[in-house]
Structures are given as C-alpha cells and as structure tokens.
Amino acid sequence: MASKLLRAVILGPPGSGKGTVCQRIAQSFGLQHLSSGHFLRENIKANTEVGDMAKQYIEKGLLVPDHVITRLMMSELENRRGEPWLLDGFPRTLVQAEALDKICELDLVITLNIPFETLKDRLSRRWIHPPSGRVYNLDFNPPHVHGIDDITGEPLVQQEDDKPEAVAARLRQYKDVAKPVIELYKSRGVLHQFSGTETNKIWPYVYTLFSNKITPIQSKEAY
C-alpha cells in the first residue's frame, strides 16, 4: 500500500458506467467506495436528521440541495479519516467541491466522457431495485429473471428520468453543473479524462493510472 492515503473522485453523467468503474477500482486497490446515493438511502432509511431533510426534497421530485448533501458527506468522510477512499456522486457542484477542499486534498479526479447516444441507449436499458439501489442493465448486467431483483425477488422499476425523453434534459443539466467542477480540477492538474463507449475498454487505462499511485491488490485481468 502507498504510505499516503489515496483520495480520489470519479465524475460522470448518468449511464456513464461510473458505478461499475468504482466497484472495480475499490476491489483492485482496496479503496472504500463512498457513494453519495448510498449514504442518502441509508440516512433516509434510518430517519436521521439529514436523511429527513433530503427526503422532503426527493418526495417533491427536487434535487437535494448542496447544503444537505455536503453536510451528509462531510460527516461520512469525518468517520473515514484513516481510510483511502473513492468518492462517487460527490462533489457534483462547485459549492460541494469547495466544501470538500476544506477537509482534504484530492490526489486523482477521473471524469468519464461517454457519447450522448451511448448514454441514451444505456439508460433506456436500465432497471433498478429502489430499496437497495441495485442497478441492472438489460445488455450487460441483466437480472436472472426479467423484471425481478436477484437478491430479494422484488420487482424492478424503470425510473421516469431514465426514459429517453428525460435523458437529454438530465445530461444537459449534468454538463452545466459539472463543467466548473471539471475546470477546477483540471486547473489543479489532478484531472484525468477517459473517453469511450465501453467500460471494459476504458478500464485498463483507469487501472494503470491508479497503479501509478497505489499498489494493486488484484490484477486488472480479474474482470
């Protein structure tokens, strides 16, 4: 292991394969995969103060505001001061990035650039199990039984915002918000951009980048 604790962030639009890349990085390099979506679900389920605040926005179909997400993530990161981690879904905005700056210095920021048509196709093939947040893709990660979660046997749903007409608006919104965050990390020299249409083709380059910073515990061929 590297003597310094690695602090990394992954950025990418919905459908970019971010979740898959995060899992592979976490398994290959022993990093904690910290997903803002996962922490949100956990806090909502546990009825914490910040979970209840977030729930009010989600129930109205609104984005959870910066101050709520930031508060949630800061407390999670405080609990993990001694662990190397990979952040997924945070920071999404410049305000969130500035808050993160106050508690740590990032070593690596990865952004996934995937063509719009690929994202549109992937999202239209995406089904989720809302209670757990498990995501299935009918092409490369289908459930064992169509429309049913592998673990609980409960039904899968397609989110309204994964339907084709909503995807374009989501991607535009992501680009607008992510642009200043990407520019910030680019100016600091920690940003690494990966482009392509297939996660398996992008993965070896991501693996090599991390290998230069931290000793792998699993080979990239494990996938």
CA geometry: angle 184, 185, 190, nearest 5 deg: 160
* Residue 33 parent element (H or E): strand 32-35
Q: Is 17 annotated as a binding residue?
A: yes
Q: Is 82 annotated as a binding residue?
A: no
Q: Is 29 annotated as a binding residue?
A: no
Measured N-to-C along each axis, helices 94-101 and 164-187 cross at an angle, to the nearest 10 degrees, of: 40
Domains and CATH numbers, the chain: 7-212 (3.40.50.300)
Lowest mean pLDDT across 79-88, 97-106, 155-164, 183-192: 155-164
Q: Is 62 annotated as a binding residue?
A: yes
Beta-bridge mates of residue 193: 111
| The pLDDT of residue 3 is above 80 | no
Q: Is 135 annotated as a binding residue?
A: yes
Q: How far apart are CA 190 and CA 106, in angstroms?
A: 8
Q: How far apart are CA 9 and CA 11, in angstroms?
A: 7
The whole model's pTM is what? 0.82
> Which tens digit of pLDDT belongs to each residue from 58-109?
888 788 999 999 999 999 999 998 889 999 999 999 999 999 999 999 999 9
Q: How far apart are CA 182 and CA 184, in angstroms?
A: 5
